[in-house]
Structure 1
């Protein structure tokens, strides 16, 4: 592990920025990123974490949880982020064990069921609130407490739930849901309480006016719920002096660590002044095209990040206005972290290209 001692350090976390090697020929066909190319070529490799095909959490989730000490450094498939998400949503997790639940659409394929990226639902607050009003009493009847600081995300707690291993929605999106459904974390068996909860809600929403109206507009019905990130809040610490992110879990961890946090700015130039220490910025324009395997849209997102972040950050680093720049690029299963100082940019003999980092 390389330690960089400069002040005003910037760390960019980029989920879904690493396609798989199998997708490389398509994803990187028209890559136009000279600033990123130079940063990758000259930076020092800090960490490379290889993942596995059937891990139920995403590598950037595990990376953030490790940075804050919410999971052990050697944890391989665990990111109990629900209590921190609840905190970021304005709730109070306390010492209870929480799971996050989201309304979703499950599509019937030829011989299996496929989870659709929840963001593709375009569910309005009003629609979500009406569906929640039906689902909440059904869940509470089974002895499970529901907190819903926002109608789009609910938080469940109660001994009846047990300890469930759920999968992150974006980990399972676009795939058959069979192996990703919640199971008992100890026995590995399908959770009966969760199946009952899910069934009660599905029946309550069947032919609901919200869904009838959505289908009449050609929108997918909200026909199921998805559980993930179950866990209990632990004391955490932050290696960052400031955290700028739109991701709930990341902001929640920062809040739990009593660190300044806000939404991610639109560009490097919109960053607040960087003082001593490291500022973490999480940028996530890649998730939707990555999940949809829309590599033209993925490249367009990379073009924007190149223009708004990589190019001006490289210029600031080269001019000495930025002490150090670290990039953590995550994919579907693994992640890579590289760090560069002004001196690294002069190391012309270093040669590294993006395809060499692919999973």
Structure 2
């Protein structure tokens, strides 16, 4: 069995804060890193890495909206040439002259709330022939009239960051920025936000445009199965006609249920939300769980040759690192085991 394990933000994003690793015991991960063959590349986002993996080319944006739509479109009629845009609910907060963005991780919106918000927004934008579709509580979709000259930043690029320099670009940016401003004014006085605020919840005070594009002509990846809870990874598997399953609890469970045919991808994004919000406590606790639930059992499976090749990929904005091992790699006695922080 060949296994490709991708874990975004496996390294803490702030390189100078190396003390975060001091209390972590990661013997299996350190062994895998030490014995693996390392190839390092440029930093990138999770979505761009997945798109390249599936041989998808960037349009104005990475076409996330049109692909994830396949996973949840229901009875919506759409053509392959339709241009779809994600218009997701967010919370903006002013701090030290910065405008910081929070996503659904901190908003906890229900589908009923999403429908109420989008019903109001649709009254505002209907004159432009636009309809915002809340196909999930935090994934809202807009089919555009034609292809706008608009280049946006992925939501994962802006979460927890100052968005002042991350607003949409392109010849049509002023039209779309104006629409977002109108939506912000509507949301400011929305009764549902008043209710949320009275209950101590964060208000939905803006939307983020991103992931625009048409459906790619081909989607391909050399995997027989994909294991992930990540919405985009699942949507890519469906679009590429690749079998996919929700992520099991741990590596042992995966090994019990996985067949030995071809190469399988495990996409585990549990660390990303904590890295985005610089939540060091929960990030380190989650990494400790991944060590116990994934790295330790996969190392043992490699030793007994149940896995004949293991590739570990980690992606963040600074670098992309691939560590590749076979059972014989574990015999590299000259490879010194080093702390995880030394690789970051």
* Alignment correspondent of 2:99: 113
2:201 and 2:131 map into 1 onto residues whose CA distance is: 30
1:271-298 Cα offsets, whole Å, 9 max, x none, are: 2223211111111111222122122211
* Alignment correspondent of 2:336: 351
Is 1:43 matched up with 2:39?
A: no
Choose which of 202, 213, 225 in structure 2 pairs with 1:231: 213
Structure 1 gaps of 5+ residues are 1-7, 52-57
* Alignment correspondent of 2:290: 305
Aligned pairs, number: 337
* Alignment correspondent of 1:22: 15
Deviation at 1:203, TM superposition (A): 2.3
Deviation at 1:270, TM superposition (A): 2.1
Query: Is the Cα contact below 8 Å between 2:67 and 2:235 reproduced in 1?
Result: yes
Deviation at 1:161, TM superposition (A): 6.2
Matched position secondary structure for 1:165: coil
Is 1:245 matched up with 2:228?
A: yes
2:273 and 2:308 map into 1 onto residues whose CA distance is: 32
1:176-222 Cα offsets, whole Å, 9 max, x none, are: 111111121xx5xx712211221222222222221111111211110
Seen in structure 2, the aligned counterparts of structure 1 residues 318 and 80 have a Cα distance that, compared at 3 Å, is same
Choose which of 193, 200, 210 in structure 2 pairs with 1:218: 200
2:260 and 2:73 map into 1 onto residues whose CA distance is: 28
Query: Is the Cα contact below 8 Å between 2:224 and 2:263 reproduced in 1?
Result: yes
Structure 2 gaps of 5+ residues are none
Query: Is the Cα contact below 8 Å between 1:60 and 1:335 reproduced in 2?
Result: no
* Alignment correspondent of 2:68: 85
* Alignment correspondent of 2:90: 104
Matched position secondary structure for 1:105: strand
Query: Is the Cα contact below 8 Å between 2:196 and 2:202 reproduced in 1?
Result: yes
1:183 and 1:250 map into 2 onto residues whose CA distance is: 26
Q: Aligned Cα RMSD in Å?
A: 2.1
TM-score (norm 1): 0.87
Query: Is the Cα contact below 8 Å between 1:117 and 1:291 reproduced in 2?
Result: no
* Alignment correspondent of 2:80: 94
Q: How does 1:56-67 map to 2 (within 5 A)?
A: 58-67=44-53
* Alignment correspondent of 2:305: 320
Choose which of 81, 103, 112 in structure 2 pairs with 1:126: 112
* Alignment correspondent of 1:262: 245
1:3-37 Cα offsets, whole Å, 9 max, x none, are: xxxxx111111012122453441332322110000
* Alignment correspondent of 2:129: 143
* Alignment correspondent of 2:187: 205
Deviation at 1:86, TM superposition (A): 1.0
Deviation at 1:152, TM superposition (A): 2.1
Matched position secondary structure for 2:165: helix
